Structures are given as structure tokens and as C-alpha cells.
Amino acid sequence: MGSKYKNPNGFTLAEAMIATVILGIAAAGILLPFTSGQVVRAEGVHRTLGAKLAADLMEKIVNTPFNQIVAGYNGYSELKGHVKDSAGVAFISTDLNYANFSRSVSCDSVYTVQQAGTLPSVFIRVTVRVSYGGSELVSLTRLVSQ
């Protein structure tokens, strides 16, 4: 005859703790891919927004008269949190998704082999760079002609 305190239908404390540990390990194995997937998704969203910001600014530059591009945009920059839409309104005032973005532009005259380099250039290489949190996400370069 056994002890009067034994319950063959229940769990001991040690068995319950082991079951909890095993369940925790299984749950971590299932949930970890989802959390890393969220990081990849956020990176994709940032790159998509960065590409849109670069394309929007490049379109604005291309629609500027050729003789005003270098003077108006070479060295142009919008600091983090001050990126503007086409109307000149800061995105951060309307959408906090743009808070960590910044943009900069560089313009270089490009001469063909036939030009001596002293004549006015007929081409400008425009590069728009978009950064997120200080790290460059997108660099868009375009050759603009008269």
C-alpha cells in the first residue's frame, strides 16, 4: 500500500517546471523568425520611402531650367526631420514616418571628349542621396542635358 499523499493523476512541481521550460523553448523557436521578419519589413519600408524621396527630388531638379540646376541644387541638403514635399512643406508635420530621413544633392558638370572643358558643359550629373538615421539608403544619379 502506498502513501496517503500520492496522487497518481497530478503533476509534481518539478514536472510542471520542466513542461514550462520546454513550452518556452518551443514558443521562442516559433516566434523568433517573426521578430526578425519585422526588422526586414521595416528596412524594406524605409528603402521604399527613401527611393520615393530620391525620385521626387530628382524629378523636381530635372524640371528646373538647365542653367539654374547647379546654382540651385549643388550642395543642397535637408537635415534629418526636415525633408520637404514638392510644395515645400516638411513631411514631419504631416507624417512621422519621414522623421529620420535626410536628403542631399551634388551636381557635377560633365564634358564630352569633343569639348575642351572650357566651354559651358552641356551635361550635368545630378546625384540625390537619401539617408535614414544617418545611414545612406538610396543614391540616385541622373545625367541631365540641355
Give burial (CB, 10 Å; 0-12/13-18/19+) of 25.
exposed
Percent of the chain with pLDDT over 70: 88
Please say if the pLDDT value at position 12 is more than 90.
Answer: no
CA 59 to chain centre: 19
Mean pLDDT of the chain: 83
Instruction: State the pLDDT confidence band at 93, using cuts at 50, 70 and 90.
Output: low
Distance between CA 120 and CA 106 in Å, rounded? 18
Q: Which amino acid is present at 74?
A: N
Average pLDDT over residues 57-69: 92
- Running DSSP on this structure, what letter comes out for residue 121? P
Distance between CA 145 and CA 87 in Å, rounded? 25
Poorest-pLDDT segment among 58-72, 110-124, 131-145: 110-124
Note the pTM of the prediction, 2 decimals.
0.70
Please say if the pLDDT value at position 81 is more than 60.
Answer: yes
CA 84 to chain centre: 16
The DSSP bridge partners found for residue 109 are: 124
Cell of 33: 523568425
Instruction: State the pLDDT confidence band at 8, using cuts at 50, 70 and 90.
Output: low
